[in-house]
Amino acid sequence: MRYTILFFILLMLFSSCEEPKKEEEKIETVLIFPRISIVSQNTNIADVTVEIEGYDGNLVSGAVVLVSNNSNGILKCNYDFYTGSYFCKYPIPANGIINVSIDSILSSYTLNYTIPHRQIVSKPVINVFEDSDGCSVLMGMPVDFLRTVQIGWTSSGEGIVYQITIRSALQTLYQASTESLTHIIPGGIVDVSPGQIYYIQINAQRIIGDPFFKTSRIYSAAIRTGDTISFNVW
């Protein structure tokens, strides 16, 4: 009997000397590479498009993509086999913050993105359009594009990039972008002909990220169409 007791004591001593087993290290893997685009134009509804590429370069169609805001308004994006992307229309929240989460078996954890997107409420209105001689389109006068031409417009808010476009009925003749409220076109660089009707338009854009997804995986663009004015030249 005493040998049995001694055996159990020795067994307990040896057991207590064993090193505790270490938990297996969890290896986190991410084998998907999303590209997220959020675009709105003249509306408070944004188009949310998410394209997901796998590690092998193929598009991933089996993920779960959810769009939400800080008030927990959640919407699931549907996969479009024609475009190879997930898509939904989402109301722009008052604080301008849209959240996108992506779950896939190719990732050991959920990918979460917080993307600013604020609607542009007021459109830019052209208030200056004249050549260096003072001939103003707004006063019904033709302008001379062989001279410098100044264009000005009203503000659409902070953090806005304005795009100026001059076109004929068939093609775009000139485009430029600026954060200023004025722009000067150098003389002679716009190919216009006397007697023809042309159009100038100012659009406001609030852009975050990279539309080509080279420097960022997100692209957010709120666009507000501004004035379009027809004009002729000397």
- Tell me the pLDDT band of 10, cut-offs 50, 70 and 90: very low
- The pTM of this model reads 0.80
| Full strand arrangement of the beta sheet holding 78-80 | 78-80, 85-91, 45-54, 32-41, 218-231, 198-209, 161-167, 172-178
User: What is the rounded CA–CA span in Å between residue 65 and residue 93?
Assistant: 18
Domain definitions of the chain by residue range? 32-116, 126-231
Residue 60 and residue 32 in contact, taking contact as beta carbons nearer than 8 Å: yes
The CATH class of the 126-231 domain is mainly beta
pLDDT score at 5: 47
In the chain, % of residues over pLDDT 70: 88
What architecture is domain 32-116? Sandwich (2.60)
Question: Beta strand pairing status for 32-41 and 218-231?
Answer: parallel
At 48 the three-state DSSP class reads strand
The average confidence (pLDDT) of the chain is 90
Contact residues for 22 (Cβ-Cβ < 8 A; gap 6+)? none
Mean pLDDT of 96-117: 96
The token pair that represents 99 in the structure block: 């959240």
Per residue in 178-222, pLDDT (tens digit) is 999 999 999 999 999 988 899 999 999 999 999 999 999 999 999
Per residue in 73-89, pLDDT (tens digit) is 899 999 999 999 999 99
User: What is the rounded CA–CA span in Å between residue 19 and residue 37?
Assistant: 52
Tell the residue number behind the tokens 């991410």, with chain if given: 30
For the ranges 7-21, 38-52, 130-144, 151-165, which has the lowest average pLDDT? 7-21
